[in-house]
Amino acid sequence: MELPFMGDTLIVLVSQLIFFIGGWVFFVKQLFRNYEIRHVFVQLIFSSTLALSLTMFELIIFEIIGFLDSSSRYFHWRLGLTLLLIMVIAVIPYLIAYSCISNVRIVPAKWVQPLTTLIWLCYLYGFWRIGDPFPLLSVSRGIFTIEQAVSRIGVVGVTVMAILSGFGAVNYPYTSMSYFIRPVSQSDVVNLERRLLQTMDMILVKKKRIALDRRRNKPNQKQSIWGMISSVTQRPAGAENIGQLRLEISALEELSRQLFLEAHSMKNMQERERWAATLQGKYFNVLGHFFSLYCLWKIFICTINIIFDRVGKKDPVTRGIEIAVHWCGFDMDIAFWSQHVSFLLVGCIVVTSIRGLLLTLTKFFYKISSSKSSNIIVLVLAQIMGMYFCSSVLLMRMNMPAEYRVIITEVLGGLHFNFYHRWFDVIFLVSALATIVVLYLLHKPPNVDTSM
């Protein structure tokens, strides 16, 4: 019994080492390629969180294909999930608080540690109280348990997943389908740029008039007191109306901003038109049509689930195979094909989830990071990543046949899994509809007032 367990443990540790090295390389080559790594400990935390998160997905795949002994899988499920929860709930929040407080110059060095501990304790209290409005586990099930931690992490993580999924389900067809590309001719771009240049010339002329008027009417240092008073109360002959010129400049600057935004939008549309004509653009256009149908179907299903309080009891793979057997007359082994198709489906979900999250984190990091805040932002991204992958296990359980959910259900205990699926449907629907409204408003070309 000990030899198989040691062999299984060695396999899991080697895979975790590979994941850790991959996270380390991603951190250095992708996230921090434009920054100097000042805290290696931050790099260790990020890589460790990524390795533990990927181990969860690895164990799900091992569960489907029956790799490793069942007792070994159960042990590594509990160990890996416990370590990930410790990182997400205790270690990373403490480091975030410490990094933020230590960067505040007015805080003395001797107060950094006590203030960090105080904020961390307040965070733990808020983390525990977050479960009050939701039907989570009661205190009778214990406080310091995996179930209590996952139940609260799941609320935040599922919310983040649903928001990202709702946005992606709508935004991907919008950015990839040629239907949403507004046709723009080169003459339209040239005319708009000409109007922008004319507006800038008008602003320059009016500002020059103000500068010349100030220089011409500059008061003389030897001027008498009466002359200074009269120069303020009376405008000299031929002087400019400075107030009126400033109002005109303000209106023209607003017009120039609108013209610039419209010119930028036209340039982007031209780039999208050229990209849509390529082979890659045509391929993504086909995918965009498919995802647009998926988005409509998902919105419809989420609405039905919310209205009728419905939660699927069977995974989609088994249900699809049963429909093929009973209604279409196909002769196939349901258990055999359910295992293999579930393996492919979960594998696709794992790959797309990891890729999508890492790309999103990279874009987010580049937009808001700086040399001073980069380490704090990396810790925040590690926190989001841990919650995201931990919640993915909750939702991915529904895509697995019942016989492969046993260990996951035992590890997670008596969680209300139906609540998380219903919560995901609600947030996904709100996120998708809000994205549709925002993209509709952005797709409308701005009304540029050219009466000036």
Query: What DSSP character marks residue 91?
Result: I
pLDDT, one tens digit per residue, over 157-211 is: 888 878 877 887 787 777 777 777 777 788 888 888 899 899 999 989 888 888 8
- The answer to whether 263 touches 145, Cβ cutoff 8 Å, is no
Residue 242 tokens, joined? 């400075």
User: What is the model's pLDDT at position 18?
Assistant: 92
Q: Which residue has the tokens 């984190």?
A: 361
Q: Return the amino acid letter for 13.
A: L
Q: Where are the beta strands (DSSP E) in 137-229?
A: none
What are 216-233's pLDDT values in tens digits? 776 555 555 545 555 555
Q: Which of 151, 20, 11 is nearest to 73 (CA)?
A: 11
Alpha-carbon gap, residue 112 to 213, rounded angstroms: 56
CB 285 within 8 A of CB 174: no
pTM: 0.67
- Give yes or no for a contact between 168 and 356, defined as CB atoms under 8 angstroms apart: yes
Alpha carbons 204 and 141: distance in angstroms, whole number: 72
**One-letter amino acid of 359:** L
CA distances to 92, 193, 372, 378, 386 from 99, in Å: 10, 47, 10, 11, 19
CA dist 252 and 203 (Å) reads: 7
- Rounded to an integer, what distance in angstroms lies between the CA atom of residue 119 and that of residue 101? 10
Most distant CA pair in the chain, distance: 109
Q: Give the 3-state secondary structure of residue 144.
A: coil
The residue whose two tokens read 């990091």 is 365
Q: Percent helix, strand, coil in the chain (nearest 5)?
A: 80, 0, 20
Tell me which DSSP letter residue 445 carries: P
pLDDT in tens, the chain (452 residues): 456 778 888 988 999 999 899 888 877 776 666 655 557 788 888 889 889 988 888 888 787 777 878 888 888 888 888 899 889 888 999 988 888 888 777 878 788 888 889 999 998 888 887 767 776 655 555 566 777 788 888 888 888 878 877 887 787 777 777 777 777 788 888 888 899 899 999 989 888 888 887 777 765 555 555 455 555 555 555 566 778 888 888 888 888 888 888 888 888 888 888 888 888 888 878 877 877 787 788 788 888 888 877 765 555 555 666 666 666 666 655 555 555 555 555 556 555 655 666 666 666 666 655 556 677 778 888 888 888 878 877 777 766 666 667 777 777 766 777 788 888 888 888 988 888 888 888 766 555 444 44
Block residue for tokens 């919640």: 391
pLDDT at 118: 92
